[in-house]
Amino acid sequence: MFIRKKNVNGIEYAYLVENKYNKRKKQSRQKATKYLGKIIKLPENKAQTEAITTKESIINELIGQGFSLNKNLLKKDSITIDLNKLSVDENNKSVCIELNEGFLCAHTLTNLLSFSSKNLTQKEIIMKFADAFVSAGINLHHESFIKIFNKELKP
């Protein structure tokens, strides 16, 4: 699954999309499985985030983007990110923040903070965990990734 942008009347919206292969027609089709919200673009941050936990990496990335932290709520203007409820909202409507090379939304936030490594090989765990960071737009320093992986996922 991946996130696709769709432009409607000059406004971009994000959708979760999955590929389905039709064996009979020998072609694949893409199907939108979930609406994620309006896209809000933030400037690309060239600086790599340093952290020792996944949650801290998200907080540090967003503070670098001008968000302020109050308990587990990150706020900037009308955007609120709740790290307890795993939600990304603007004026109480779900939104998707285009951040660096990814999108931070309820879906990617959940994938990152509730990462499951069940039934995966060590290599698959590393690849999927790294992909979760990239998909969420977290520009994490490679040494921080190793620290977080060793702390949170290594058996």
Looking at the DSSP bridge assignments, the partners of residue 30 are 19
Could you identify the residue written with the tokens 């509730």? Answer: 114
Whole-prediction pTM: 0.87
Total domains in the fold of the chain = 1
Pairing of strands 79-82, 87-90: antiparallel
Q: What is the mean pLDDT of the chain?
A: 90
Confidence at 155, pLDDT banded by 50, 70, 90: low
Contact (CB, 8 A) for 24 and 33: no
* Beta strand extents in the chain (DSSP E only): 2-8, 11-22, 27-41, 68-70, 73-76, 79-82, 87-90, 93-99, 102-104
Task: Give the whole-angstrom CA distance, residue 130 versus residue 134.
Answer: 6
The pLDDT tens digits of the residues spanning 100-153 come to 889 999 999 999 999 888 888 888 888 999 999 999 999 999 999 999 998 888
Residue 89 near residue 104, CB atoms below 8 Å: no
Model confidence at 44, in pLDDT bands (50, 70, 90)?
A: confident
Question: Is the pLDDT confidence value at 1 over 80?
Answer: no
Say if residues 94 and 36 touch (Cβ distance below 8 Å). yes
Q: Where are the alpha helices (DSSP H) in the chain?
A: 54-63, 106-113, 122-135, 142-152
Residue 70 structural domain: 2-152
